[in-house]
A = this chain, B = another copy of it.
Amino acid sequence: MIKITFLGTSASIPTFERNHPAIALEYFDKDYFLLLFDCGENTQLQLMRAGISFMKINIILITHWHADHFAGLIPLLQTMNLEGRKEKLIIIAPEIEEKIELIKKLYYYDIKFKIETIDAINENKLYENKYFEIYSIKVKHTVPSVAYAFKEKDRWKINEEKLKKLNLKKGKWLDKLKKYGKININNKEIKIEDIADIKKGKKIVYSGDCEYDENLAEFAKDCDILIHEATFLEKDKKEYSHSSALDAAKIAKLANAKRLILTHISRRYHENYNELLEEAKSVFENVEIAKDLFQIILK
Contact = CB atoms under 8 A, between A and B. Distances in A.
Given A67-B109, A74-B71, A45 B42 contact: yes
A104 to B, nearest CB: 10
A42 B48 CA distance: 15
Contact of A74 (B19, B67, B105): B67
A99 B102 CA distance: 10
Interface stretch (A8-16, A225-233, A278-286): A8-16
B49 A16 contact: yes
Contacts of A83: 13
A12 B82 contact: yes
A108 interface: yes
A41 B75 CA distance: 7
A77 B78 CA distance: 21
A22 to B, nearest CB: 12
Interface string A127-153: 000000000000000110000000000
B106 A106 contact: yes
Interface string A102-121: 11011111000000000000
Interface residues of A, number: 38
A208 interface: no
Given A41-B44, A42-B42, A109 B71 contact: no
A299 to B, nearest CB: 31
Given A45-B14, A45-B42, A106-B99, A68 B64 contact: no
A21 to B, nearest CB: 11
A91 to B, nearest CB: 14
Given A42-B45, A103-B106, A75 B79 contact: no
A108 B75 contact: no
- Of A20, A75, A102, most B-chain CB atoms within 10 Å: A75
Given A66-B78, A68-B78, A102-B102, 8 more contacts: A42-B45, A65-B107, A67-B77, A67-B107, A71-B72, A99-B106, A102-B105, A103-B106
